[in-house]
């Protein structure tokens, strides 16, 4: 949250515990086949309140200064990794992801990215004061265009919205949705209600109206325990258990018949992994065959909707103990046209483009995952 960013200490070598996660360094070894790379998860960050206030109306500047950000308590990042960022991602001044020149050098040029999709995590949509959240979202959106997308042709933005109110979200999508600098609408996965609920429908209507996918990113907090069995004690459980928040969202979107109501709606799942997708599809299909009378808007096998309407980013890349299990996973999932590479820059669990996918995968599959699926979905070039 912007209000606290400036108070975070700059990391020093002394502050690094022996076992803290290391950012992946670029290897010296020669690269494999040269593939285009599109990075679908880059966390641009608002460097300070002064920047925010350039885009925030006076009424909400005063609110921000006086009352600050107020949302549900939810998951948090470990403190030893300030801003959850790679140690080397701190620009000389400011915060990781807060400096375009530094990011250009460290990410866009370094890895020769064709495109990068900004996914600023600012918590605007999680504000309990929904109108304040909507004002923050608008400010962040205007900032993305003015300070990132217009100066850097390889970048595209994501529309933040006050997603807990479908109408507020729709208003913002209508306000900026025709700007070609935006390629999707961005939510976080732990919402107050499952995303199939009626309160979110106007947001989907607006997204479809502008032909923008809805992206759902790791994180957030809906005001309730983050698992179906209460609050876990550890960050490691929060991080390891994040797929448990993605699963009910997939179930809800399919079961509420969202893709019958909005047949052109596309959903992008970011940073939730994907090994859980095949077992979830099997169970949804099995349950639906027996209980479909309860949800008559669902006309097809649930897995058909998943395969048609969901795109999924790769980071954190699944790491089964046997490489062949990864190949089995891709086969079972049958969504190679929907997987999209992401680094999660500048976060500590960054996936490097040259190491993310096993070299044993067919070149065509790697090419599509590394860039072509995203190029098509986001209409890049």
> 8 to 37, contacts with its own copies by CB under 8 A?
17, 19-21
Q: Which residue from 193, 211, 308, 364 is in contact with its own copies, where contact means CB under 8 A? A: 193
Cβ nearer to its own copies, comparing 19 with 66? 19
Any contact of residue 336 with its own copies (CB under 8 A)? Answer: no
Minimum Å gap between C-beta 111 and its own copies is 21
Cβ nearer to its own copies, comparing 129 with 244? 244
CA 170, CA 167: separation in Å to the nearest integer? 5
Cβ nearer to its own copies, comparing 133 with 316? 316
Contact status, residue 130 vs residue 162, Cβ threshold 8 Å: yes
* The pair of three-digit structure tokens given for residue 261, joined into one six-digit string: 């109501």
* The pair of three-digit structure tokens given for residue 123, joined into one six-digit string: 């918590």
What φ, ψ does residue 4 adopt, rounded to 5°? -105, -10
Give the H or E element holding residue 313: strand 310-313
Cβ nearer to its own copies, comparing 154 with 197? 197
Any contact of residue 286 with its own copies (CB under 8 A)? Answer: yes
Q: Which residue has the tokens 């880059």?
A: 42
Q: Is 243 helix (H, G, I), strand (E, B) or coil?
A: helix
CA 336, CA 369: separation in Å to the nearest integer? 7
Any contact of residue 64 with its own copies (CB under 8 A)? Answer: no
Instruction: Write the Ramachandran bin of 271: left for phi over 0, alpha for psi from -120 to 50, otherwise beta.
Output: left
Pick out residues in 204-263 that bind its own copies (CB under 8 A). 222, 224-237, 239-241, 243-245, 247-249, 251-252, 255-256
Residue closest to 144 by CA, chosen among 168, 118, 125, 162: 118
Any contact of residue 195 with its own copies (CB under 8 A)? Answer: yes
Q: Which residue from 72, 292, 375, 376 is in contact with its own copies, where contact means CB under 8 A? A: 292
- Determine the interface stretch with its own copies among 44-52, 111-119, 174-182, 274-282 (rule: CB under 8 A): 274-282
Minimum Å gap between C-beta 101 and its own copies is 30
Any contact of residue 134 with its own copies (CB under 8 A)? Answer: no
Cβ nearer to its own copies, comparing 27 with 320? 320
Cβ nearer to its own copies, comparing 18 with 28? 18
Cβ nearer to its own copies, comparing 35 with 317? 317
Pick out residues in 345-374 that bind its own copies (CB under 8 A). 349
Contact status, residue 129 vs residue 164, Cβ threshold 8 Å: no
Any contact of residue 344 with its own copies (CB under 8 A)? Answer: no
Cβ nearer to its own copies, comparing 12 with 322? 322
Any contact of residue 192 with its own copies (CB under 8 A)? Answer: yes
**Angle between the 201-209 and 166-176 helix axes, to the nearest 10 degrees?**
10
Any contact of residue 284 with its own copies (CB under 8 A)? Answer: yes
Q: Is 215 helix (H, G, I), strand (E, B) or coil?
A: strand
Q: How many residues touch its own copies (CB under 8 A)?
A: 73
- Gyration radius from the chain CA atoms: 20
Minimum Å gap between C-beta 305 and its own copies is 13
Residue closest to 163 by CA, chosen among 213, 139, 127: 127
**For its own copies, what does the binding mask look like between residues 311 and 330, x meaning CB under 8 A?**
-----x-xxxxx--x--xx-
List the 214-220 sheet strands across, edge first. Answer: 38-42, 115-118, 155-160, 182-190, 214-220, 267-270, 310-313, 339-340
Long-range contacts, stretch 323-327, CB < 8 angstroms, 24+ apart: 323/358, 323/360, 326/358, 327/358, 327/360, 327/361
Minimum Å gap between C-beta 194 and its own copies is 5
Minimum Å gap between C-beta 357 and its own copies is 16
Any contact of residue 332 with its own copies (CB under 8 A)? Answer: yes
Cβ nearer to its own copies, comparing 113 with 188? 188
Residue closest to 217 by CA, chosen among 342, 351, 370: 342
Angle of CA points 346, 218, 224, to nearest 5°: 135
Q: Which residue from 11, 273, 346, 353 is in contact with its own copies, where contact means CB under 8 A? A: 273
């Amino acid at each position: 949250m912007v209000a606290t960013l400036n108070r975070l200490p700059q990391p020093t070598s002394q502050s690094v515990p022996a076992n803290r996660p290391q950012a992946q360094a670029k290897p010296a070894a020669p690269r494999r086949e040269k593939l285009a790379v599109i990075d679908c998860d880059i966390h641009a960050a608002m460097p300070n309140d002064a920047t925010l206030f350039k885009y925030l109306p006076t009424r909400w500047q005063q609110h921000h200064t006086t009352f600050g950000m107020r949302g549900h308590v939810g998951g948090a990042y470990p403190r030893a990794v300030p801003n959850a960022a790679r140690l080397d991602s701190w620009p000389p001044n400011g915060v990781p992801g807060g400096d375009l020149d530094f990011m250009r050098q460290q990410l866009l040029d370094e890895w020769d990215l064709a495109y990068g999709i900004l996914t600023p995590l600012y918590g605007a949509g999680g504000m309990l004061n929904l109108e304040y959240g909507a004002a923050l979202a608008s400010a962040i959106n205007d900032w993305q265009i003015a300070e990132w997308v217009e100066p850097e042709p390889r970048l595209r933005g994501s529309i933040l919205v006050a997603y807990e109110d479908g109408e507020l979200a729709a208003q913002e999508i209508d306000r900026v949705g025709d700007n070609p600098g935006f390629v999707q609408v961005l939510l976080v996965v732990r919402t107050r209600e499952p995303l199939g609920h009626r309160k979110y429908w106007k947001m989907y209507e607006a997204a479809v109206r502008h032909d923008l996918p809805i992206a759902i990113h790791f994180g957030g907090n809906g005001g309730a325990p983050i698992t179906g069995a209460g609050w876990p004690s550890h960050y490691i459980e929060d991080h390891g258990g994040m797929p448990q928040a993605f699963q009910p969202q997939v179930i809800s979107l399919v079961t509420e018949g969202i893709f019958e109501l909005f047949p052109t709606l596309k959903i992008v799942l970011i940073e939730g992994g994907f090994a859980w997708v095949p077992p979830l599809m099997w169970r949804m299909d099995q349950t639906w065959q027996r209980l479909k009378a309860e949800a008559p808007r669902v006309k097809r096998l649930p897995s058909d909707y998943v395969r048609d309407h969901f795109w999924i980013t790769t980071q954190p890349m699944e790491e089964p103990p046997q490489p062949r299990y990864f190949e089995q996973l891709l086969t079972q999932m049958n969504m190679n046209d929907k997987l999209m590479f992401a680094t999660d820059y500048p976060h500590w669990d960054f996936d490097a483009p040259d190491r993310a996918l096993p070299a044993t995968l067919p070149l065509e599959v790697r090419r599509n995952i590394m860039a072509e699926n995203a190029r098509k979905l986001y209409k890049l070039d």
